[in-house]
């Protein structure tokens, strides 16, 4: 993607004026971003190929492939679970921007900190329950593919674990921006 094509969507989102975390934790978040996005894209491609196989089998083959609908569902679940944390970190989640533009730099940093704390708190509450839910799947298998359901149910652990990790990163970014002020954004860029 060209630099201009990358800058346009980022300039539309005012929370992107908050500088990213640097140092080892920032690098870890960047590596995790790339890894999770790569896995999410692989899930999307797999989902697309599975749907294509399903359509071809229904139209051209004398039989239908029964497991394609199930695999499509599981790939979709994992695609969303893998991408949710990265979406949070990049401030690309769906939101209503009623007042973001009116906030100053510190107001945006405080808003980011508050939203990240709320998201992290929710993920922290739900994560142990997601783990319990995933363990239930150890005793079940999927109907047509006969895959142990723990692998499917672990997607909820991946989802809330990544949301918790990225909410901590975003909270730190917001607090650092609050403390340092707007000069941080100018120094980083």
> What pLDDT, on a 0 to 100 scale, did the predictor assign at position 16?
77
Cα 110 to Cα 15: distance, rounded to the nearest angstrom: 10
CA distances from 41 to 16, 81, 157, 178 (A): 23, 12, 19, 35
Q: Per residue in 124-156, pLDDT tens?
A: 999 999 999 999 988 899 999 999 999 999 999
pLDDT digits (tens, 9 = 90+) for 84-99: 999 999 888 776 677 7
Angle between helix 149-180 and helix 68-89 axes, rounded to 10 deg: 10
Q: Where are the domains positioned within the chain?
A: 20-92+102-188
* Residue 64, pLDDT score: 81
Q: Which residue has the higher pLDDT, 66 or 173?
A: 173
Residue 187 clears pLDDT 90, i.e. is over it = no
Tokens of 99: 């007042």
The pTM (predicted TM-score) of the whole model is 0.84
Distance CA 181, CA 188 (A): 12
């Amino acid at each position: 993607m060209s630099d201009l094509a990358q800058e346009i969507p980022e300039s539309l989102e005012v929370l992107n004026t908050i500088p990213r975390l640097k140092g080892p934790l920032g690098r870890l978040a960047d590596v995790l971003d790339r890894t999770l996005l790569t896995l999410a894209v692989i899930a999307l491609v797999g989902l697309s190929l599975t749907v294509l196989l399903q359509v071809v089998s229904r139209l051209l083959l004398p039989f239908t492939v029964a497991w394609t609908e199930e695999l499509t569902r599981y790939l979709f679940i994992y695609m969303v679970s893998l991408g949710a944390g990265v979406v949070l970190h990049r401030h690309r989640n769906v939101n209503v921007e009623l007042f973001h533009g009116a906030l100053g730099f510190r107001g945006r940093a405080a808003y980011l900190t508050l939203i990240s704390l709320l998201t992290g708190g929710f993920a922290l509450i739900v994560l142990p329950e997601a783990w319990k839910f995933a363990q239930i799947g150890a005793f079940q298998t999927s109907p047509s593919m006969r895959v142990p359901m723990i692998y499917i149910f672990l997607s909820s652990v991946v989802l809330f674990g990544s949301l918790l990790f990225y909410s901590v990163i975003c909270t730190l970014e917001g607090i650092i921006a609050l403390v340092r002020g707007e000069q941080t954004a100018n120094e980083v860029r």
